[in-house]
Homo-oligomer: A and B are copies of this chain.
Amino acid sequence: MADRTYGDIPGFPVGTEFVNRTALAASKVHRPNQAGICGGIDGAESIVVSGGYIDDEDYGDELVYTGQGGNDPATKRQKADQELTRGNAGLARSQLDGRPVRVIRGAGGDPKYSPASGLRYDGLFRVVDHWHEIGKDGYRIWRFRLVTLDSTDLPPDSSGDAGPTERVATVVQRLIRSTKVAVEVKQKHDFTCQVCGLRLMTPAGPYAEAAHIRALGKPHDGPDVHSNVLCLCPNDHVRLDAGSIYIDATGIVRDSSTHAAIGPLRRSLAHNIDPTQLTYHREHHVP
């Protein structure tokens, strides 16, 4: 496992500028001289956003970042599929672990947010989602949505008295949202997991999570409707979101690595599921 440093590098605060990649590498804010991602199977510590990938999107406090590989540096176009390996696996691992990722913007990126020349350290982000899709050049690309660390990342007690060190120490690993639709779907299944049948009991009653099959929010823009939601236990919610399991066209839950059947998705007559959302999930979240 590489000797990684996550979080801020002392002496190089947010806004620090670097004349070139050599200076940046010397600072250890982003160690590789060429690669856009500093990371491997154990996690990713930093990325450079500098316009090298045609599919990148920059919204300032949020990025949709294209993984590495299959890219022709001369033309910046994709010429082969990307795999969930090396830096791509690292960003996915940092999402699973809730690790902060240093973001460096370089000239060549979106002019609205990028420095006019050289490179600039723009602070810590967290990876909130990853999936694959067919990029503009027709090849499979891996995509990572990163957002700036914000108040969400503060420990619960830190209102007012947290210094900058504490700010970067705690990262959201996973955030489960609930909506009116979510609660209704859980009630239809009496909080019983549609994958494994578990009804997780607590002293205050049963607990389940509502999983949007096609995620809410950009870029997936799944609808918040009953037919796009499953009632799952936390473990199977993680498995579905991470692409460990999928539901095939006949309603069988399968393991993504072996495609072995786990069992039929448990259904309720009161709860219809939209098969196009299941297709979307298979096409974007199963490696």
A interface vs B, CB < 8 Å? 6-7, 41, 59, 61-62, 84, 89, 92-93, 95-99, 128-130, 145, 150-153, 155-159, 169-180, 182-183, 186, 198, 200-205, 207, 209, 215-218, 221, 224, 233-235, 237-239, 242-244, 256-257, 286-287
Contact = CB atoms under 8 A, between A and B. Distances in A.
Given A97-B186, A186-B97, A84 B204 contact: yes
A97 B183 contact: yes
Instruction: Report the copy number of this chain in the oligomer.
Output: 2
A175 to B, nearest CB: 5
Contacts of A178: 97-99, 170-173
A244 B234 CA distance: 15
Contacts of A200: 235, 238-239, 244
A258 to B, nearest CB: 11
Contacts of A7: 180
Contact of A183 (B59, B99, B128, B158): B99
**Which label, helix, strand, loop or mixed, suits the secondary structure of the A interface?**
mixed
B96 A174 contact: no
B159 A59 contact: yes
B92 A157 contact: no
A176 B177 contact: no
B150 A202 contact: no
B217 A6 contact: no
Contacts of A159: 59, 61-62
A169 B182 CA distance: 11
B177 A171 contact: yes
Contact of A157 (B216, B256, B257): B216
Contacts of A256: 203
20 contacts: A7-B180, A84-B204, A92-B204, A92-B205, A93-B204, A93-B205, A99-B178, A99-B183, A128-B156, A130-B204, A151-B152, A156-B215, A157-B218, A171-B178, A172-B177, A200-B239, A202-B238, A203-B257, A203-B287, A207-B242
